[in-house]
Amino acid sequence: MSPASFLVVRRDNIGDLVCTTPLISAMRQRYPQAWIGALVNSYNAPVLSGNPDVDQVFSYTKLKHRALEQSWLDSVVERLGMILTLRRRKIHTVILAAPGSQASAERFARWVAPHRILRADPDQGGHEVERIMSCLSSCVEALPVTFPCRVVPEPQQIQRLTTALPPALDNGAGPLVALHISARKPSQRWPASRFAELARQLHDRWQARFLLFWSPGATDDPRHPGDDDKAAEVLALTRDLPIHPIPTSHLEELIAGLSLADRVVCSDGGAMHLAAGLGKPMVCFFGKSSAERWHPWGVSYQLLQPDSLDVGDVGVNAAVAAFTRLMDDSLA
């Protein structure tokens, strides 16, 4: 008899959860009638919003992400209530989708008291998606890793952003290119002046139009450092180009905004994986991270990673050449 219920646990960063969506798609195909839930954190939960393969999303707030008015005790009580709710569901299988050992996830799985717990194969290499899919080796035989990542934008957010687009972007002839300029790791940050020069060359060659994305806030904000200054520099250098700023305070805004683009230029990180989940071809910059493990999954991409492992060493000409190859791929 097929298991009646699954709970997928993935409480890491945005990209980690995006890379878990192929596993969820595979489970839905193999067990179309099963209840499939997901346990995530409040920060990455919008990744699964609207995903038709998931019946219910349970999220909790990490202590470091809780609001100023939310006490430590409130967070703990909230988490305990969720555990009790899941225990009452009598879940058959908990899947710990994060490769590698996670003691807190193991404890949570035991508290939920499932019939069985599935884990990733510790010897599985390759892409993060392949590592995660190894969780299913015991219950889905010979399943090829052919499922793409899947992210679903909210229609209301799309409507709001589309309405705000100026006519030059809404009705232009060239490709609409998303430029995402924020990156958490210093080695992944491409300078503002190069984003601006890239935009100029892409506009001259393809009449490209642009959406500029960044994490809003001051660089020195201790809780949520942002890139307002960097965005202002890019906009000042491209004031004569068709470019529209979209600061994204919420993940739902970023997902919807990226869904409007035809192509994406970004660094390795959450936005890159969201773009892959939306099916967007892209040029991506890689610094000190594994391209084999974290490259965009299931979409056309051009990856630039200098020998120095510092994105700052990628030149504009290299980015233009990569974008040209991306355009050529779409015409082939």
- pLDDT tens for 270-311 read 999 999 999 999 999 999 999 999 999 999 999 999 999 999
Q: Taking Cα atoms as reference points, which of 274, 268, 259, 252 lies closest to residue 311?
A: 268
Average pLDDT of the segment spanning 187-192: 96
CA angle 113-115-117, nearest 5°?
85
* Dist. CA 261–CA 311, nearest whole Å: 23
Residue 223 pLDDT level (bands cut at 50, 70, 90): low
Helix axes 72-88 and 103-112, enclosed angle (nearest 10):
50
- Amino acid in the structure at residue 324: T
Least confident stretch, 68-72, 82-86, 115-119, 164-168: 68-72
Kindly state the tokens that stand for 46: 């919008």
pLDDT of residue 144: 59
Kindly state the tokens that stand for 328: 């050529």
65 pLDDT higher than 80: no
pLDDT of residue 1: 42
- Amino acid in the structure at residue 142: A
> Phi, psi at residue 217, to the nearest 5°?
130, 175
Question: How many C-beta neighbours within 10 Å does residue 143 have?
Answer: 16
Q: Which residue has the tokens 């957010």?
A: 157
66 pLDDT higher than 60: no
More confident residue, 91 or 78: 91
Residue 200 pLDDT level (bands cut at 50, 70, 90): very high
pLDDT of residue 60: 82
57 pLDDT higher than 90: yes
Sign of the torsion formed by the C-alpha atoms of 127, 153, 59 and 180: positive
More confident residue, 154 or 80: 154
User: Cβ(17)–Cβ(10) under 8 Å?
Assistant: yes
pLDDT of residue 72: 56
Task: For residue range 23-52, list pLDDT tens digits in order.
Answer: 999 999 888 999 999 999 888 999 999 999
Helix axes 316-331 and 192-206, enclosed angle (nearest 10):
40
* Dist. CA 110–CA 128, nearest whole Å: 25
> Phi, psi at residue 267, to the nearest 5°?
-95, 160
Question: What does pTM read for this prediction?
Answer: 0.93
Q: What is the DSSP string of 242-276?
A: -EEEEE-SSHHHHHHHHHT-SEEEEESSHHHHHHH
**CA distances for 122 relative to 95, 125, 135, angstroms:** 14, 8, 10
- Amino acid in the structure at residue 194: R
- Amino acid in the structure at residue 300: S
Strand partners, 304: 285
Average pLDDT of the segment spanning 190-210: 97
